[in-house]
Amino acid sequence: MTSPNLRKYNDTFPILGNGNYIDISSVLVGDITLEDDVSIWPLVAARGDVNTITIGARTNVQDGTVLHVTRRSTQNPNGNPLIIGADVTIGHKCMLHGCTLGDRILVGMGAIIMDGAIIENDVFIGAGSLVPPNKTLLSGYLYVGNPVKQVRKLKDSELHFLKQSAINYINLKNDYLAQ
Ligand SMILES: CC(C)(COP(=O)(O)OP(=O)(O)OC[C@H]1O[C@@H](n2cnc3c(N)ncnc32)[C@H](O)[C@@H]1OP(=O)(O)O)[C@@H](O)C(=O)NCCC(=O)NCCS
């Protein structure tokens, strides 16, 4: 699939997997890799210009979310790429900047995750939370607030929901692809 919302930067261009859904109103620029079954919903802005963005299989990036990265410098030789794992749900209007997310994570609506933050597998981040630079969120916990604080261990139903949410969005994007 190529369309005007997939854009080149220097010699880099988004690389797509199989079964991706990319809403026509979203913009993906430069060095971005999408694995299979990723969905990108309306008005997402993803800019892989001064570093790389990778999005793992079956992850959904919901409406109005902004994805960006930090350039390499002498103080920070690798810069901060944005690395998002598999089966991640990124809610509406989030901001993910130069951070690393594992698998099966829910990023609540409007959350902000800053450079160098690491979110381990199976984490739930409440709506409107702010994850400060270089902070690590541990696997299996709910975090909320600005700045985020660990609230409690996730319940079994919430751990299950992390997987179910990804499945729901795969089904939804398949509906959209079939229209
Ligand atoms: C955090 C969340 C998971 C609820 O967790 P919970 O343990 O069931 O929390 P409760 O609803 O019982 O509320 C417990 C307390 O946390 C507060 N709270 C709930 N969500 C909060 C949030 N996102 N940020 C800060 N505080 C929050 C409540 O006001 C309540 O405070 P109180 O004890 O002073 O009254 C939920 O509110 C949330 O943010 N979900 C994210 C949903 C989302 O964005 N999905 C993606 C879109 S598809």
Protein residue with least CA distance to atom 20, ligand 1? 126
Atom of ligand 1 nearest to the CA of 128: 23
Two tokens at 170? Answer: 């795969």
What class does CATH assign to 6-178?
A: mainly beta
Report CA(144)–ligand 1 centroid distance (Å). 7
Helix-strand-coil percent breakdown of the chain, rounded to 5?
15, 40, 50
- Residue 97's beta-bridge partner residues? 68
Mapping DSSP to helix (H, G, I), strand (E, B) and coil, where does residue 117 land?
coil
Which residue ranges make up each domain of the chain? 6-178
179 residues of the chain, pLDDT tens digit each: 467 899 999 999 999 999 999 999 999 999 999 999 999 999 999 999 999 999 999 999 999 999 999 999 999 999 999 999 999 999 999 999 999 999 999 999 999 999 999 999 999 999 999 999 999 999 999 999 999 999 999 999 999 999 999 999 999 999 999 99
- Residue 39's beta-bridge partner residues? 21, 60
Atom of ligand 1 nearest to the CA of 111: 44
Output the pLDDT for position 114. Answer: 98
What distance, in Å, lies between the first and last C-alpha atoms of the chain?
16
H or E, element range at 47: strand 45-55
